[in-house]
Every structure is written in structure tokens, then in C-alpha cells.
Structure 1
Amino acid sequence: MTALVAIEHVSHSFGAARVLDDVSLSLAHDSYTVLLGPSGSGKTTMLSILGGFIAPQQGRVLIKGEDCTAMAPAKRPTATVFQDYALFPHMSIGANVGFGLRMMGMARREREAQARAMLDVVGLSASFERKPHQLSGGQRQRVALARALVVQPAVLLLDEPLGALDLKLRRQMQDELKAIQRRVGTAFIHVTHDQEEAMALADHIVVMNHGRIEDQGPPERVYARPATRFTATFMGESTIVPGTAAYGMIDTPLGRFPAGLDARHVAIRPEHVTLGGPIAATVQDVVYQGSFKRVTAQAGETTLLARLPAAAAVSVGQQVMLAIDPAHVIVLKD
């Protein structure tokens, strides 16, 4: 099947700053893709190019097989949900949702019916006559989502839509966003710098850094077997340990692990470090985080992170013996 979105060799600069550098990417129908990366990685510029708000200096963008590179935002089959929602404060919720249909010339009765139906999809059918100031932040976010979806875009673009919400509401909206995407079947492309948000939402994660794609794939693979050192450190916490590869193994200060001849480092996730093993370490810090304790321990010259059970009896200054699960050690070439 032809990709829904194809980004081909896109590059863009702002002055002397190269923000996208020969980026190519294909995205499938019905997918929930998250563009993930730190500030300055190029993810927001990529979203703006997809939405038509920026024309790339090089490369092209195809949506549903049509070259949309020079197409105006209103002409391309996309809709965008911004972080500030941009609702019209003087309009009712129903009028806000139906605004795009009104601009398309749809008759009032039909657009109101479609607006009501879409508000029902996002769980706000009772709010048709209300004004934006009468709703919570999470409800306004769902109104913005309904307004974007009601025009039936092929691709919905979301620019850090949960960034203004508190932690509890953000997690609630993550569940709701994924449920809505599955229900309507529209492809979502979502920008965030939050790794947990990306893993909660995406079926396809694209990790960006310095205008390039570092890694991409299902969240489980990107987390468990990251392609680069940057991905290993950005997608959750890791202890990066240098090593020397020979005869199918890599020797490190923390032990020997299976590896190819091109291995240079290993990455160790804190959840794969346990008590009771051959590694002697001194506890440097203990942070209680409810379901687990985040422990920093010094093993020789290596500072090792461990995620131990909440009931583990560990304290600062204590000598402990640690083990690393070799099946989950991540071998890196860089």
C-alpha cells in the first residue's frame, strides 16, 4: 500500500541554522506517529512543513500520493491542533467546531449536525451551546480536536497539544487521544518532547536530533533496542558504559556481554539492575517514587542507575551487590 505521507529529502534552514537536514520519512494510513526530540531537533519545523505553514527549501511532501509541497494550508488534506487550542471565545462550542465547515460553505443545519456528531465522538455532546471559558483545559483540548476532525482531514497534526495540562489531566488525555484516533481512523502526527507521552500514544515513534532522524519504529523496539546512543539516552534513562569488543563479546567495567565486533558501548536500563549479584557498589542517592526506588550507585568508576522495588532496604552510603540482566543489555555501535 502507498504511504499516506511521504517526506522526501526535506531540508530547511533559518538563517545559518540548519533545522532539517535531508529528512525522508514514510507514514502509514491509520497510524499514530509521534515526532519526539529535544528543543531544536526540528520536530516542530517538520510539523509546520506538513501543515503548509512553512515551505521547505529542499525536498517535497506528498500526502495521499499528491505533491503538497507548495500547497496552501487550507488546500491540503490536513488539519492542525495547536497547544493553545485557539478557540474563538465569543462563539459557542458548536460554532467553534463547525467553523471549518462554515468556511467550506456548508449549510447551517448540516454543519450543526456534523458538529454535534463530532462533539459526541470526543465526549462533549452536552456542551454544544456553552462557551470556551465555561470548560476545563482538557475539555477545551477536546473541542479543538473535534474542530480539526470534523473537516475529515487525511492527516491530523498535533503540536504539543497536552503541554499546557497538569500531569493527571495530561495522562487522562493521552488515553482519550488514543481512543479517539482508533475510533475515527484518521492518521495522527503528534509532536512532543515527552518520552512517556510518546510511548503512551504512538504506534510509530520518530526520534529526531539536530534536524535528522536518529531512530524510528514501534515504541517497544525503539526503547528496548535503540539504534543509536542518543536514542538510548533520550528514550528513558540509561547507564552508558564503554567497552572493548572481541570474539562475539564486549568487555566492560561491569562485566562481559554478547556483542558484535563493531560494539563500542553498552546501555543498561535501570529496571534491568537488581539486588544480589557480582557487582559491588556504594549507594549514592535514593529517591522514593511510589512504585519503585530510583537508586544511584557507584560501582568503581561507573555511576549506575537502578530501579529497585519500593520495599528494598537501601540507604545512602550502604554497600550493595548488584546484578545486570545480560538479556536486556543494549549494545551500541557509537
Structure 2
Amino acid sequence: MSAPLVDIRNVSHRFGQLAVLKNVSLAIEPGSYTILLGPSGSGKTTLLSILGGFVTPSEGKVFIRGADCTALPPAKRPTTTVFQDYALFPHMSVGGNVGFGLRMQGVDGATRATKAREALALVGLAAAFDKKPHQLSGGQRQRVALARALVIEPAVLLLDEPLGALDLKLRRQMQDELKAIQKRVGTAFIHVTHDQEEAMALADHCVVMNDGRIEDEGLPERVYARPATRFSATFMGESTILAGTVTEAKNGIVTAMTALGPISLPGASPAGATVALAIRPEHMVLGDAKSDVALGMAKVGDVVFQGSFKRVLATSALDPALQFIAKAPASAAVQAGDTIPVSCQAQDIILLAD
């Protein structure tokens, strides 16, 4: 097995007495699109800054291409960073902005211009070479920043919430473009965001962070379908969470006692263990259906039409503290005030250690 492109080993960091990263280890493969996903204060931006050389970790090491880069300044490591505010030079043309890194490397003017034009063509802005940044839209300026970062052919491209300043439609468009560009150039991208939809749209390697630690990592499909922790289940998409205690475990089936009664599901957990049962909204069935796990009756409190589905919040009749979150078909006749049965399939319940 080949060595990872980026190898973060036991990295911790403190700002004064505040620990913002706590013994983080992470391997990133060549050509991957890695998303660092987490809420504000989870440590994801600090980790990106350590990778870019803007922060030296209090403890631990960072290796890129097998070389120890822990103490190297940004200009001497094989990374470039795209910031949320783009950081373009307003007095320079777009071509000048894109070629700036090459200029700092001593590349001659003719070569700079050629490479800058190629990079702009890569991001769909071949005609913008002689324009000034203020003549471009937000999405176009984002693409210029991307071209400027890619033109120096870094081993790793770091993106710090690069789509945060864009409106929803443009953000979706840029997600598609970012993924397509990453596949064309083959550079490893490491992208920080707190947007779960963005993470699922872009990543082939999703890293969920919380309180300075990595909670979960892997393919986004796995992290969503079978999250490793309760935090991951609630941050990477929504879940209804049931607290339970295992009363029986045999032959790959666990039975847990919950406020809604006993629930049996596939899994492994010892008798007496405290567990959490997570159910994704799309697996929650409203109304009479032949699901194998009945969750009792619930009163619908809110129904929000969201285009392809209706997001339904309903309060359990058996446990008023429990709120079911469900995705119902857009054509469903459910409305606020209805009292309806709720159920799901046992195989769709996620068993988590609490």
C-alpha cells in the first residue's frame, strides 16, 4: 500500500489555554476530495491552517509527500489555499492575479501569461484575462482564485469555506464545477465547510469534526448511512434519536428497551449497554404501512413543503419529549394537527453506543 499524500500524526493545538485540536491523526490519499465538516469551533479551520503552514501545531507532525512540513512556511510547502474572501489584488488584471504565484517563483512573463490563460480556460474564464476583478461576479472571482491556486500545480489545494459567500443557486453550480475541475487536474482537494449538503455533493472522503476531534471519517455514503457516533448521526443530516438499554443480544439481533417499548434490530451490543437508535427522515414511515417496527402514534406539528418532499415534525404520543423528523412524498396529504401512526424498517435503524 502506497504512503498517503498527507499524513497528519497526533496533532494538537492550543490558543493560550484553549485546546482547539486534540490528538488528531488523518491520512489523505492522492487525487482525493476531502471535506472537513463540522460546526463552528470544531477545529476544522485550524487544521486547514496547520496544513497550509499558517499555524504551527503545539504538538504532532504534518507530512506531505513523505516530507516533514510541520515547521515549513506556506511558500515552501506544496500547498496553496483558496480563502472565502478570494483575496484578489484589485489593481491587477485577472491574468496578473492568476500569474502572481508564478511571478513569485521567478517564472518569465511569457510563460506566466500562457499558464495563466490555460488555468483560466480550465475554470471557464478564458475571456477574462484582461479584466479587473471588480468587473466580475462573485462566482467568477471565486473561479479566478481557484485558477490562481491551481496554476502553480500544488500537491494539495486547501479551500477554506470557498462557497460561503455565494447565493444558493451559484453555490450549487460551483459545487458541480469544483468537482469537475478536481477530477480533471487530479490534485488532492481539502475543503472546509459546515454545510452537510456541500459535503455530500463534493467529498469522496468525509471527515466529521467536533470539539477538536475527528468523530467519523470515510465515504460520505457510509458516514451518512451508518454514522459511527451520535454526533455524526445528527450533524451529517438529521436523525430521530431514541435512547435505549439493551435487554437481549443474540444471533446478530439486539433488543433495546425504549420509551416506545422494546425494539429489535440487527446489530451487536452487550446486554445492559446504553445505546441510541437513530432513524433517518427518509426511513420514517407515516400512516398505516407494513413496516416491521411500530413506533406508536404521533401528532403532526409542522409540515414544510420543500419541493421534492415534505418535511414533517411530529410529537410522539408515548413520549412527548420525542419529536419524529420525517420526509414524506410531496403528494402526501399529511397536515398539521393530524394524529398518525409512525413506523420504520428494523434494517434502517442505526445502532449507536450512547
- Alignment TM class, shorter chain as reference: over 0.9
- Equivalent position amino acid for 2:236 in 1: M
RMSD: 1.1
Separation (CA, whole Å) in 2 of partners of 1:257 and 1:152: 53
Separation (CA, whole Å) in 2 of partners of 1:161 and 1:201: 13
**Counterpart in the other structure of 1:83:** 84
Structure 1, gaps ≥5 residues long: none
**Counterpart in the other structure of 2:51:** 50
Secondary structure at the counterpart of residue 29 of structure 1? coil
CA deviation after TM superposition for structure 1 residue 75, in Å = 0.3
**Counterpart in the other structure of 2:203:** 202
Secondary structure at the counterpart of residue 243 of structure 1? strand
Secondary structure at the counterpart of residue 264 of structure 1? strand
- Equivalent position amino acid for 2:57 in 1: P
**Counterpart in the other structure of 1:125:** 126
- Equivalent position amino acid for 2:212 in 1: G
Separation (CA, whole Å) in 1 of partners of 2:48 and 2:170: 24
Match of 1:266 among 277, 282, 286: 277
Separation (CA, whole Å) in 2 of partners of 1:303 and 1:53: 44
- Equivalent position amino acid for 2:157 in 1: L
**Counterpart in the other structure of 2:17:** 16
Match of 1:315 among 301, 323, 335: 335
Match of 1:289 among 288, 306, 312: 306
Secondary structure at the counterpart of residue 92 of structure 2? coil
1:250 aligns with 2:251: no
- Equivalent position amino acid for 1:252 in 2: T
Separation (CA, whole Å) in 1 of partners of 2:175 and 2:143: 11
Secondary structure at the counterpart of residue 315 of structure 1? coil
Structure 1 residues 100-179: aligned runs within 5 Å: 100-179=101-180
C-alpha distance after superposition, 1:51-72 (max 9, x if no partner):
0000011111000000000111
**Higher mean Cα deviation, 259-268 or 193-202?**
259-268
**Counterpart in the other structure of 1:94:** 95
Secondary structure at the counterpart of residue 222 of structure 1? helix
Secondary structure at the counterpart of residue 87 of structure 1? coil
Does structure 2 retain, via aligned residues, the 8 Å contact 1:257–1:329? Answer: no
Q: TM-score, normalised by structure 1?
A: 0.98
Q: Tell me which stretches of 4 or more aligned residues in structure 1 moved more than 3 Å.
A: none
C-alpha distance after superposition, 1:177-213 (max 9, x if no partner):
0000000000000000111101100000111111010
C-alpha distance after superposition, 1:74-95 (max 9, x if no partner):
0000000000000011111111
C-alpha distance after superposition, 1:266-325 (max 9, x if no partner):
001111011224432111111111111111112221211111011111111111122212
Separation (CA, whole Å) in 1 of partners of 2:187 and 2:256: 45
Match of 2:345 among 300, 325, 329: 325
Aligned length: 334
- Equivalent position amino acid for 2:310 in 1: K
Separation (CA, whole Å) in 2 of partners of 1:204 and 1:101: 30
CA deviation after TM superposition for structure 1 residue 168, in Å = 0.5
- Equivalent position amino acid for 2:311 in 1: R
Separation (CA, whole Å) in 2 of partners of 1:218 and 1:109: 43
Separation (CA, whole Å) in 2 of partners of 1:251 and 1:217: 31
CA deviation after TM superposition for structure 1 residue 263, in Å = 5.6
Separation (CA, whole Å) in 2 of partners of 1:63 and 1:263: 41
CA deviation after TM superposition for structure 1 residue 225, in Å = 0.4
Separation (CA, whole Å) in 2 of partners of 1:15 and 1:324: 48
Separation (CA, whole Å) in 1 of partners of 2:349 and 2:55: 41
Structure 2, gaps ≥5 residues long: none
- Equivalent position amino acid for 1:30 in 2: G
Q: TM-score, normalised by structure 2?
A: 0.92
Secondary structure at the counterpart of residue 315 of structure 2? strand
Separation (CA, whole Å) in 2 of partners of 1:167 and 1:20: 31
Separation (CA, whole Å) in 2 of partners of 1:198 and 1:265: 24
Separation (CA, whole Å) in 1 of partners of 2:121 and 2:345: 48
Does structure 2 retain, via aligned residues, the 8 Å contact 1:7–1:24? Answer: yes
**Counterpart in the other structure of 1:191:** 192
